[in-house]
Amino acid sequence: MTTPPYQPGYPQPGYPQGVSDKSKIVAGILGILLGTFGAGRFYTGHTKIAVLQLVVSLVTCGFGALWGVIDGILILVNGGTDAQGRPLRDS
């Protein structure tokens, strides 16, 4: 049995197709303003990272909020992905 040839318009196994319905700008702003609560990561569907951001912020008495701010800036500058691995849209 052989692998079928690539057909444009059809998703390939292991490669998510398309762009996320989540916005890079919204994710970045949520990360900067509400990074203490992991809001940017909850928005993109990365719940494990979001819960970890929340726990780190609580354990460090708020100093862990810096992680959310840096994360939000990186999402705005470099972009990011949603939980399915699709790139966030620009608008």
Domain locations along the chain? 24-81
* pLDDT score, position 62: 86
| pTM given for the model | 0.79
pLDDT (tens, 9 = 90+) of the chain, 91 residues, equals: 565 555 555 555 555 578 999 999 999 999 999 999 999 999 999 999 999 999 999 999 989 899 999 999 999 999 999 999 999 998 7
Nearest-5° angle of CA 37, CA 40, CA 88? 170
List Cβ neighbours of 66 (8 Å cut-off, separation of 6 or more). none
Q: Which of 60, 86, 61, 88 is nearest to 74 (CA)?
A: 88
- The C-alpha atoms of residue 6 and residue 38 are separated, in whole angstroms, by 39
